[in-house]
Amino acid sequence: MKNQPQQQQKKEAKTVELKKIMPETTQKEIDTLNPTLKAASEQIIAQTLERLKKINPNRPKEMEYFDEMANLFGKRVEELKQAQAEGKKIIGYNCIFAPLELILAADAIPVRINSGWYDTSKLGDRVVPVEVCSIIRSTIGAKMVELSPFLELSDVLITVLTCDGMTKLSEILGEYKQVWGLSNPRIKDSEQALKFWNEEIKQIKTNLEKLTGNKITVKNLKPAILKTQKATKAFRRLQNLRKDDTVISGQDALLVTQTYMWDDIDRWTEKTNVLCDELDRRVQAKEWICPSDTPRVMITGTPMFWPDNWKLPSLIEEGNPRGILVADELCSSERLLYDPVGIDEWTMNDMLNAIGERYLMACTCPCFTSKDGNEDRINWLLTKIKDHKIQGVIYYVTRGCMLYAMEYTTVKRALDKINIPVYYLDTDYTREDTGQLKTRVEAFLEMLNAQIDI
Amino acid sequence: MTTSTIGFDIGTQTIKVIILNNKTRQVVARTQAFAGFDPAQALKTAVEQALKTANLTQTDITTFATTGSNLETYPYPVITVSTMSALTKAGTHFFPQAHTIIEVGAEEARAVKCDDRGLMVDFVVNERCAAGAGAFIEAMARALEVKMEDMGPLSLEAERASSINAACVIFGESDVVSLIHKQEPKSEIARAVYDAMADRVSAMVHRLGVNPQVVLVGGVAKDVGFIASLKRKLGVEVFIPEFSEYAGALGAALIGLTKSGGNKN
């Protein structure tokens, strides 16, 4: 605590005058490309939602809310603008390490800013080489043409330095937005690591207080923690409905968890509970979404972002043969929500430590290692496989995503031991390889089918 | 009248068609056609030719099964079989002891691992670049000014191989050009081309484990240069069936026949 003012000074000194547009583009180009890409994206969002309705005529009625929230240029953007006009701060974040509870306690609004747009990754190629991970390139491209309302509206970005891509993305975006770099240790199980991390969290707290002018106290932090705890509870309720014969498609469940990244958390929790009520009734009525011998698939790997990067879930659930996605281990979905902040005593110190622990210790990101490798992730995968009765795992990696690519070998070995087939599927932010991927996903599902038949 | 099944494999360069007798499960005809710009028409022509060879008419055919790249529409009512399943079926049909089946085609290389029951348990497909596939040989033959069918025998004349990088067809070609400038013997460059390809394919197979028997099929399985390099890299005997390029079509036909129950006739 003692050296905090010094740290603060150091970070403040970094603040430089921010540029408006990237040198790799011109205002004129932004003026043409922005509306074109926005219109194309709105069309894709509408088409995907139409398809989800078509493939499942008996789709839960309560999905309607999430369909509306899925419009990245819709209602939520207006709400954020309104809140901002009323003086609220919007905090963009690139990674689930960003402590949402502190943001909420400071009466600011968290939104995740990672881009799922394919087209903007091509624009990002002007700034960084094509070998760089597509999420990074696409996020850079989105900034270039100001496509992402969430990124544009952010007053500050919390950029977590998990992988090389995110670290350098932080620098690149830092020229246009104020960024608070949040550095995470790579080894969790040491006292120094947790101590270091807790200091980082406290720094974010100080930064937030300064930006918003709202002091974070027991009085506002407790309800913030309760808020995310409730969200976690609703999410787990949805998860429990996917552990056996299921009444919701994987794509719908994925859409629900994705919207958490930008929706109002209280409302999201309420709507998720309402959806679960409907799903509970369907379980009672045994209105299963697919025959019980449909192969049960889990996805793990690089995060997947709405709206464009939806090809894998749709190939799994709409191909021939069909599979059912019943779980994932993605930081853009289930990892986002599973763990609550566990509090012993509602004191400031305890709460801050609990937040620190929740974000560091519970995380299964491949940026971590230990003497037994990233054992938390392996154990978590094995638990999920058991709980959700998974029959096959698709290990999805976007090119340039080194951490996930390299951790495949360890995951494969662990899953081989328990005889769970796992398929490594690498792709990029492009639509053109869908045919190729279809062949692979279908072969994998055929393989699972053949094993189920026996 | 004996009924038959037709299997076809829509490849990136050629379409392969075979006719299988439902009862004997023997291949009674096979044809191939250049896929070109109108693959549906090419398919029709190839099927008609195969029927003519087998002295059959379309009414004798109980089942059509297809594999490879999917067409939007087919001129026949088809059962679709995934390339990997077709490959497994064909490989174990030829060699019941097969545990690793590799297919190297014009633009794709793939491999499956199967268990003792002949069931696929794992598979890999080459990464996006064609450096591990037949198109690589074609491009390199062009650079060496050698006919593609002469590349294999030429490479066997070499006592050692030059070294090239097979990360990508285009860069591989520029490697070959610099070897030409260094006046390295053609045969050694040719062998380097196969070694580089076999490196890529064997790295892929190693991800599944090299489980004998290893079977090689696909258009490139006819190339003596590639076979020699692959055997060296894998360190095991590689089994190659007759008409290896028809493996996909045969696998599709066999699976289609089982699925449709046509073998009861």
Q: How far apart are CA A256 and CA A88, in angstroms?
A: 25
Q: Is residue A11 part of a domain?
A: yes
What is residue A184's DSSP assignment?
-
CA distance A439 to chain B (A): 7
CA distance A408 to chain B (A): 11
User: Whole-prediction pTM value?
Assistant: 0.88
- C-beta of residue B22 within 8 angstroms of C-beta of residue B2: yes
Across the interface, which of B80, B117, B120 has its CB nearest the CB of A447? B120
Shared-domain flag, residues B146 and B213: yes
The number of distinct structural domains making up chain B is: 2
Q: Give the contacts of A42 (CB within 8 A, at least 6 positions apart).
A: A71, A73
Shared-domain flag, residues B125 and B146: yes
CATH code: domain of residue A398 = 3.40.50.11900
Instruction: State which of A216, A247, A273 marks the end of a domain.
Output: A216
The number of distinct structural domains making up chain A is: 2
Shared-domain flag, residues B141 and B177: yes
Shared-domain flag, residues B109 and B161: yes
Q: Is residue A265 part of a domain?
A: yes
Q: Is residue A344 part of a domain?
A: no
Q: How far apart are CA A393 and CA A407, in angstroms?
A: 14
Greater confidence (A450 vs B166) lies with A450
Shared-domain flag, residues B42 and B171: no
Instruction: State which of A157, A189, A216 marks the end of a domain.
Output: A216
Per-residue confidence band for A451, with pLDDT thresholds at 50, 70 and 90: confident
Q: How far apart are CA A428 and CA A437, in angstroms?
A: 11
The amino acid that residue A371 corresponds to is K
CA distance A307 to chain B (A): 24
Name the average pLDDT for chain B: 89
β-strand partners of B19: B6, B29
Across the interface, which of B83, B117, B121 has its CB nearest the CB of A443? B83
Shared-domain flag, residues B116 and B234: yes
What is residue A373's DSSP assignment?
B
Shared-domain flag, residues B110 and B64: no
Shared-domain flag, residues A181 and A48: yes
Q: How far apart are CA A313 and CA A305, in angstroms?
A: 11
CB B84 to CB A447 under 8 A?
A: yes
Could you report the per-residue pLDDT of A247-304, keeping only the tens digit for each?
Answer: 999 999 999 999 999 999 999 999 999 999 999 999 999 999 999 999 999 999 999 9
Shared-domain flag, residues A316 and A427: yes
CATH code: domain of residue A201 = 3.40.50.11890
Q: Which domain holds residue B211?
A: 96-240
Per CB-CB distance under 8 Å, the chain B contacts of A421 are 121-122
CA-closest candidate to residue B197, choices B101, B106, B112, B122: B106
CB A421 to CB B121 under 8 A?
A: yes
Task: Please tell me the predicted confidence (pLDDT) of residue B146.
Answer: 93
CA distance B184 to chain A (A): 33
Shared-domain flag, residues B162 and B41: no
- C-beta of residue A247 within 8 angstroms of C-beta of residue A289: yes
Comparing alpha-carbon positions, the chain A residue that sits nearest to B125 is A440
The label of the residue with tokens 């003692």 reads A2
Name the average pLDDT for chain A: 93
Whether the per-residue pLDDT at B169 is higher than 50: the answer is yes
Q: Which domain holds residue A52?
A: 4-216
Q: How far apart are CA A227 and CA A314, in angstroms?
A: 32
Task: Please tell me the predicted confidence (pLDDT) of residue A422.
Answer: 96
CA distance A255 to chain B (A): 29
Task: Please tell me the predicted confidence (pLDDT) of residue A14.
Answer: 53
What is residue A115's DSSP assignment?
-
Shared-domain flag, residues B224 and B259: no
Q: Is residue B90 part of a domain?
A: no
ipTM of the complex: 0.77
Whether the per-residue pLDDT at B42 is higher than 70: the answer is yes
HEC letters along A122-172: HHHCCCCCCCCCHHHHHHHHHHHCCCCHHHHHCCEEEEECCCHHHHHHHHH
Q: CB-side exposure of A236: number of CA atoms within 13 Å? A: 10
Across the interface, which of A421, A440, A442 has its CB nearest the CB of B122? A421
CB A435 to CB B127 under 8 A?
A: no
Shared-domain flag, residues A62 and A118: yes
CATH code: domain of residue B258 = 3.30.420.40
Give the orientation angle of helix B134-144 with respect to helix B186-208, to 10 degrees: 170
Extract the tokens encoding B70: 């999917």
CB pairs under 8 A between A and B: 45
Q: How far apart are CA A124 and CA A138, in angstroms?
A: 6
Dihedral, A448, A454, B3, B9 alpha carbons, nearest 10: 20
Extract the tokens encoding A184: 């995470």
Q: Across A164-178, B32-46, B177-191, which has the greatest mean pLDDT?
A: A164-178
Whether the per-residue pLDDT at A117 is higher than 70: the answer is yes
Q: What percent of chain B has pLDDT over 70?
A: 95
Whether the per-residue pLDDT at A190 is higher than 60: the answer is yes
Across the interface, which of B82, B119, B120 has its CB nearest the CB of A442? B82
